[in-house]
Structure 1
Amino acid sequence: MTSELIIIVVAFLIAGWVQGIFGFGFAIATTLLLVNTVDFTTLVFLNLCMSVVTSLIAMLSGKNLKTINKNTLLKLIISSSAGLILGMAIITYVDAAILKKITLVVILLASIASLTKSQALFAHPYMGWIGGFFSGVLTPSTGINGPLVALHLNAAFTDKQEIRNTMLAYLFFIMTFGVISMSIKANLSSETTNMLVKVILPSILGYVIGMFSFRLLSDVIFKRTVNAFLICSSFASLVYLII
């Protein structure tokens, strides 16, 4: 095993761990760790596939399914579907790099604001529609679809199971769309398929470790950790894009 492959495997292990704890963040982790190591198109496809796999694992649990907020999930699916249609229509007319920077700034400021009395704003039912819609719009061009929804769920609910599992169910829907879309449109190489095989096990292992880590967190600590992750990851991503 080469040193480069070891780095990739460890990065996907860490990303799986992050996804296992928060219910999102797989793509954020791998992008920060591997953007200079793996071809970006390949990395996006691997992220989509592993997000689907880890989300599917969560959906196979009857206990997890019971804690999903069905009304919120339906709202997110409907609004993000409308957003995906618009996102696909404008993808050739927008500068993805600039849009990504703007999105990261919004996420950073919103994450900080959610720590204050403004939390009630993010908890409002209408924010589910808004977050889901823009999550769908941004998916084709930037791949940023988790944080906006996570902000709403983290503010709206107090039960960590409800937050995490509703997030995973939503990601299963939108990431599956991404996998199908890229499989049809992108000219994926055989190297991408080979790499996919190599990162499946570390991703799943990381996810399982993340699940056990998740169980150690209280509801309050979980919510605070989600906010901290959103702030730190959006800031780090923004700094990297600017530099």
Structure 2
Amino acid sequence: MEDWIMLLLIVFVAALLQASTGYGFSIIGTPFLFMIYPAHTAIQINIILSLWLSVFMIYKIRREIDTALLARLVKGSVIGLVLGIFVYLYVDVQWLKFVVGSLVLILTVLLVLRLTIQQTEARDHLTGGFSGLLTTSIGVPGPPLLLYFAGVGIKKETLRSTTLAYYLFVYSVSLIMQILFDGTTKETWISAGIALPVLLLGILLGQLLFRWINQTVFKIITYIILFFTGIYLLMTS
């Protein structure tokens, strides 16, 4: 019973954050899901719920999508998705969490120090590649996108809509690949189904909050999310 309550709380907070900032569901949700589920089960629950979240939200904000940027991210993700499935199957999850956590913390410090990144098509592709790798391996595509877009200074409206559209692609492909190569469990789908109503509630409240968050507050929330993610991944690795 405690695990169900924990699941619903995690999903609600993560959905609220995702809908209000454009990021946060996987970054916040996955580390906590690791606390109550085996690694591969937690990753698949996160991917299923993230897919639903993207489906629920994308229609309303579809006009804000940067289609050219989206296309480059998707193209770049293809190689990363393939490499990531081998990481998912064969690399120890604890080691991967340590590497990702360290990288997130280092790059976040650089962003806080006002590191700026020049946006180029090659970097768009590269960011998509790293994001794809993290999606099939641990179900968390957000950190590369968040770090890159924060450095580039993309508007929050474009960021939220474009990343959601991108998530629809990478999460769909990742889930199919994971099921084909490693299977799935009944617990995964039951848990995801139970959490769906809470996910929808978090989305609705998060969309209301989005209207009140300015660009400065948005950046602060971004840094807090990244610091939290990096520290948590290191502590649990």
Indicate whether the TM-score tops 0.5.
Answer: yes
Alignment partner, residue 110 of structure 2: 113
Mapped partners of 2:98, 2:28: distance in 1: 17
CA contact (8 A) 2:65 2:158 kept: yes
Aligned to 2:21: 22
Count of residues in correspondence between the two structures = 237
Work out which of the residue numbers 219, 233, 236 in structure 2 matches 1:223. 219
Q: Residues 48-90 of structure 1: CA distance to partner in whole angstroms, max 9, x if unpaired?
A: 01111111122111xx112111111111000011221233356
Q: Structure 1 residues 33, 117: CA separation in 2 closer, same or farther (over 3 Å shift)?
A: closer
CA contact (8 A) 1:75 1:128 kept: yes
Aligned to 1:216, what secondary structure does the other structure show? Answer: coil
- Which blocks of at least 5 consecutive residues in structure 2 are unaligned? none
Match of 2:145 among 149, 156, 160: 149
Going from structure 1 to structure 2, the CA distance change for 1:13 and 1:90 (only over 3 Å counts) comes to closer
Letter paired with 1:72: L
Matches within 5 A, 1:1-243: 2-61=1-60, 64-88=61-85, 94-121=91-118, 123-241=119-237
Aligned Cα root-mean-square deviation (Å) = 2.1
Structure 1 residues 58 and 117 mapped into 2: Cα distance closer, same or farther (>3 Å)? Answer: same
Q: After the TM superposition, which segments of 4 or more aligned residues of structure 1 sit over 6 Å from their partners?
A: none
Q: Deviations over 1:141-199 (max 9, x none)?
A: 23332110121122324421011111111111111112222333333232322222201
TM-score by length of 1: 0.87
Tell me how far apart the structure 2 counterparts of residues 93 and 162 of structure 1 sit (CA, whole Å): 36
Normalised to the residue count of structure 2, the TM-score between the two structures is 0.89
The alpha-carbon distance between structure 1 residues 8 and 138, as it changes in their structure 2 partners (threshold 3 A), is closer
Q: Per-residue CA shift, 1:14-51, capped at 9, x if unaligned? A: 12112212223222322333322223322211110111
Instruction: State the secondary structure of the residue aligned to 1:36.
Output: coil
Kept in 2, the 8 Å contact 1:124–1:156? The answer is no
Looking at structure 1, the residues matched to 109 and 223 of structure 2 have their Cα atoms a distance apart, in angstroms, of 8
Aligned-pair identity in percent equals: 24
Gap change, CA 1:165 and 1:98, over 3 Å in 2: same
Give the C-alpha shift of residue 218 in structure 1.
Answer: 0.6
Contact 1:128 1:149 in 2 (8 A): no
Check the 8 A contact 2:13/2:202 in 1, yes or no.
Answer: yes
